[in-house]
Chain A
Amino acid sequence: MRVTVERAALLKALGHVHRVVERRNTIPILSNVLLRADASGLGLKATDLDMEVTETVAADVPQPGATTVPAHVIYDIVRKLADGSQISLETSADGAQMQIRAGRSRFMLQALPETDFPDLAAGEMPHAFTLPAGDLKRLIDKTQFAISTEETRYYLNGIFLHAVDGGGSGGLLRAVATDGHRLARVELPAPQGALGMPGVIVPRKAVAEIQKLVDDGAEEVRVELSSAKVRLTFAGVVLTSKLIDGTFPDYQRVIPTGNDKRLVVDRDVFAKAVDRVSTISSERGRAVKLAVTEGRMTLSVNNPDSGSATEELEVDYEASGLDIGFNARYLLDITNQLDGDTATFMLADPGSPTLIQDREGAPALYVLMPMRV
């Protein structure tokens, strides 16, 4: 294989694919990135066996071929080479090494044969749709924080993506994540082709990668699905991931519909007050108590070890008085995701889940379990 490629293009592509590669691997070839040069340019591919990312960059290919080299090493080399340089990659005659040249720099990397490189074998993807990158970003950004890290309930370790009827004629595309303490649900009008899709759980590592790729300026994202895998195509970059093989809980049953105590707060003022009073609480189990009466809320934190804090807020509330406790971190996570100037809480009693939105009927809704205070 012999190929010449522009540094900036190679660096960008390596930046995308190398993140998939685990720092420690028991299988040596999983540390490597696959490089394949042919008429279409230089293709790169990296995998951790659960997910793979591929990208093709324009290149001058005097001699087609393929090899694999350590991903983090080649990324670091290319990163340190001079801006604007042309990089030439050339495998040795026996294929055991690859030379990298740019300007006066030369590197020899140990290579492993590309035939040993694993393939995720995506198979047929019967469902496909395209949506604006911004929409995908919203679905992820607003739910990602609620993904569970608890291994015993592995089916919560991702975002549940599915389509439902409703929201006018076209149906809705929904993303849901929960760790049992809080739940986030975001929906948008279903893109064409999404309606028949199976409900899938996209694992958290893939979610994090998708989030970075979305931020990298693609306009549209094509999503292809089977019941076992998902493939997302961002301009030039393709991410394929296995899905979590499990059943997401019937989350609709925990979204309260009968909560009748409506509390509206100024989102920013409320978040800052929660943050201030929670300073006093210890790291674990940071409970903040909300004592709500007509037109007024008193936030308080009591920490037997260090002291106490209270703060009063003016709020929009007309129902009967209520004392309820929440984990301060969880409250802040949710208020950070709300878009509007206000946050609307629908409360029932101190022991029941509370519904939080920026306004009633907003496309993003959050459910939070109270804490005993």
Chain B
Amino acid sequence: MTGGAAPLCRDCLRFAAAAARRCAACGSPRLLAHPERDRLAIAHVDCDAFYAAVEKRDDPSLRDRPVIVGGGRRGVAATCCYVARTYGVRSAMPMFKALEACPDAVVIRPDMEKYKQVGREIRTRMLDLTPLVEPLSIDQAFLDLNGTDRLHGASPALTLARFARAVEHEVGVTVSVGLAPNKFLAKIASDFDKPRGFSIIGQQEAAAFLGDKPVGILPGIGAAAGARLAQAGITLVRHLLGRPLADLYRVAGSDAPRLARLARGEDDRPVRPERETKSVSAETTFDEDLRSLEDLEPILWRLAEKVSARLKRSGLAGGSVTLKLKDTGFRLRTRQTSGLPPTQLATRLYEPARALLRAECDGTAFRLIGIGASDLTDGAEADRGDLADLEVGRAARREAAIDRLRERFGDGAVLRGLSLRDRRR
């Protein structure tokens, strides 16, 4: 086995001489060297501009053009390719802003089925490397490659380099790899050298590496927590290291020990193959702003049906229902009803969400609505009814009958009258 110091060529997968700048065999400058390279085994793999990359793969004429994958005039850019990014377009940017920045962009409606299929293909390849694959989304996952050296006859770093090359050549999209002693550092590393990247953060350098990064780099530190920390003079990760834990408790509460550990580059969360679903939700952005309950109801109903279908498919039931609204000023409103008898029925998800919606319809114009189910429990125990709820059994049988009809004749076979009121159809 070669020591970590001999650079590994990521293009031809050969090892180069110790201080080489380019691969002696193929001339590539993409050499991977790091003192801890062959000892690290936790990786984060992230596809580069995934949806756009898939579209470019399938239509080579798009290769050098700015591509934005996103929904409608009013939606957001789900993914933008690296060409578009040079114009200042970013993922999750509202479409109109993205088009302002890059008027020549090719806008493509997302084809989720296609992306899911490519995502699955990549996932299968990951599972060939290790059973310990924790998917974070369709296009990224953590991998724990500990103990796979003998299986693959290679260190995790070499295995991952092979994997990245194979995905690029055989699937047709590129990935970036982060290799580190834990998930937190691996995630940061994969982001460090995008696209087609491979970076390594070792335990030795972790604290120094993180020190001058903004605290927002730590998972769980968003705008609100960031502002609270900034008020206490903590803007960079290294500011966390200088503080006694007692001080941190005053600023960050019970999150303090976790933040202190992360600041030192420590993270003992294992890579979990099965990520538990915490919530199931669906949302949509409108082409025109909507403000009346009458206009919003049918959309909410169809989203409730969508969430219900997903709950039924995965055998789950939700005990809390969350309504999400975004107004024209992009201010988010979320409202939740919890403590409900767990349900997977569309009608039972819709009713509490509608009650929440009614209270929010105060003339405000909204651009987005969403509904989510959380506090998930086993779907088999749900919707059985009790002494005070005789209706639910009938509602469950009614929906099951409708579901069977839709399975045979398509989703449009049976519709609730309410959904016909959707003016957008």
Contacts and interface: CB of A to CB of B under 8 A. Distances in A.
Interface stretch (B57-65, B279-287, B302-310, B385-393): B385-393
Nearest to B339: A152
Contacts of A180: 341, 386-389
B339 A250 contact: no
A183 interface: yes
A251 interface: yes
A146 to B, nearest CB: 9
B405 interface: no
B277 to A, nearest CB: 23
Interface residues of B, number: 10
A251 B340 contact: no
A24 interface: no
B387 A369 contact: yes
Contacts of A153: 388-389
Contacts of B352: 152
A250 B390 contact: yes
* Chain A interface, DSSP helix/strand/loop, else mixed: loop
B204 interface: no
A181 B387 CA distance: 6
Contacts, number: 38
Contacts of B389: 153, 180, 249
Contacts of A314: none
A349 interface: no
A254 B339 contact: no
Contacts of B339: 150-152
A254 B390 contact: yes
A181 B390 contact: no
B337 interface: yes
B388 A179 contact: yes
A281 interface: no
Nearest to A368: B387
B355 to A, nearest CB: 10
A183 B388 CA distance: 9
Nearest to A146: B387
A152 B340 contact: yes
Contact of A178 (B337, B340, B341, B387): B387
Contacts of A369: 386-387
B388 A249 contact: yes
B386 to A, nearest CB: 4
Contacts of A367: 387
Contacts of B388: 148, 153, 156, 178-180, 183, 249, 251, 254
A104 interface: no
Interface in B314-354: 337, 339-341, 352
Contacts of A179: 388
Nearest to A351: B384
Interface in A133-181: 148, 150-153, 156, 178-181
Contacts of B341: 180
A354 to B, nearest CB: 11
A34 B337 CA distance: 38
Interface string B154-198: 000000000000000000000000000000000000000000000
A150 B352 CA distance: 15
Nearest to A250: B390
A353 interface: yes
Contacts of B387: 178, 180-183, 249, 251, 254, 353, 367, 369
Interface of B: 337, 339-341, 352, 386-390
The 3 A-B pairs of least Cβ separation, nearest first, read A180-B386, A180-B388, A254-B387
12 contacts: A152-B339, A152-B352, A156-B388, A180-B341, A180-B387, A183-B387, A183-B388, A250-B390, A251-B387, A254-B390, A353-B387, A369-B386
Given A181-B387, A249-B390, 7 more contacts: A150-B339, A152-B337, A249-B387, A254-B387, A353-B387, A369-B386, A369-B387
